[in-house]
Amino acid sequence: MFNVKQLLAFYWTVRLGTVQKAADRLFVTQSAVTKRLQELERCARLPLFVAGGPKHLLTAKGSELLHTCEGLVQALDGLQALRNREQLGKRVVRMGITELVTVTWFSNFAARLREGHPQVALHPDVDLSASLQRKLLDGDIDLAVIPHAYVTSKMRAVLLQSVEFAWLAPAGMPTAGRRLAMGELAHWPIIVQGQGSGITQRCERLFAQAGTEFEKVYGSNSLFALVSLVRAGVGISCLPRELFSGELRAGTLQALNVADDGSRVDYYLALRKDRTGTLFQVILDLCSQAVAAGAGASVPTL
């Protein structure tokens, strides 16, 4: 069965002449458009493009499908125009967030949104940074709070907060309180999340800059599972300092003194550039207020 994403990929590839131009128009990657075209041809069970020809040359089946797509695109344009005319309070907001956001200031933000705009339905999507980036570009979510490394030129993004990270180790690790070079951290296993994680990408980048290989332990996608592994002595991990400030004060964890660790990570509220409206500014303001209200708070030990 065809789906809308496949049909739009086909329509814009034909109208614009290349897969890359269609990808730019749809704010997705070239590989995503190619995959959708391949899926569409499998569903059609016949070739849609003339073999070896440019993308505007269609087979009889392709020409028939293009005619059908014209009506679909017109209908979607009409729906978008109708949506743009709706009042602010009649919106569903699909918002992508990381676990860090979920356990820090998100509940404050959600309460502010309910109080000020009770008819806005908030649908959060908690995932790793790379997955949120993909979902945002594919149009599966409306907004995302992601680290700067995942912001692309196809997004409009505004800085929300700068989060300090620290290399956390089990209490009593013999570091003699001295300042460590990045290369010295490779003496211990480094506990990370999955490949789609901003924390994992950051660890890989820091060790690559230091020219050092390291032993990687894929602990969990949960920050609290990671810190539990650190407490158990499995290894060390680079985690948000403020999130575990209570344990650092209590001495159940220690933060290593590491040189050139690029300790701060900027988080942005992002949406696709082709999305407009006043709702983004409303949510940005409420997010900023929630971040400011939560500054200095820590999460209880689990």
What contacts 24+ positions apart, CB below 8 Å, involve 34-39? 36/5, 36/6, 36/9, 36/10, 37/6, 37/9, 37/10, 37/13, 39/6
With contact defined as beta carbons under 8 Å apart, do 236 and 185 qualify? yes
Predicted structure pTM score: 0.66
Where exactly does CATH 3.40.190.290 map onto the chain?
A: 162-264
Reported as a single tens digit per residue, the pLDDT across 238-266 is 999 988 989 999 989 999 988 766 678 89
Reported as a single tens digit per residue, the pLDDT across 126-166 is 999 999 999 999 989 999 999 999 999 999 999 999 999 99
Q: Check residue 197 and give its pLDDT.
A: 86
Q: Check residue 17 and give its pLDDT.
A: 85
Reported as a single tens digit per residue, the pLDDT across 22-70 is 888 888 899 999 999 999 888 888 888 888 777 778 898 889 888 888 8
- Domain 4-85 adopts which CATH fold? Arc Repressor Mutant, subunit A (1.10.10)
Residue 147, C-beta contacts closer than 8 angstroms, at least 6 positions apart:
129, 198, 202, 265, 266, 267, 268
Q: Is the pLDDT of residue 289 over 80?
A: yes
| CATH numeric code, 162-264 | 3.40.190.290
Q: Is the pLDDT of residue 10 over 50?
A: yes
Mean residue pLDDT of the chain comes to 86
Token readout for 170 is: 């089990």
Where exactly does CATH 1.10.10.10 map onto the chain?
A: 4-85
The more confident residue out of 299 and 67 is 67
Q: Is the pLDDT of residue 297 over 60?
A: no
Confidence class for position 186, pLDDT limits 50, 70, 90: confident
CB hemisphere CA count around 25 (13 angstroms): 17
Where exactly does CATH 3.40.190.10 map onto the chain?
A: 92-161+266-294
- Domain 92-161+266-294 adopts which CATH fold? D-Maltodextrin-Binding Protein; domain 2 (3.40.190)
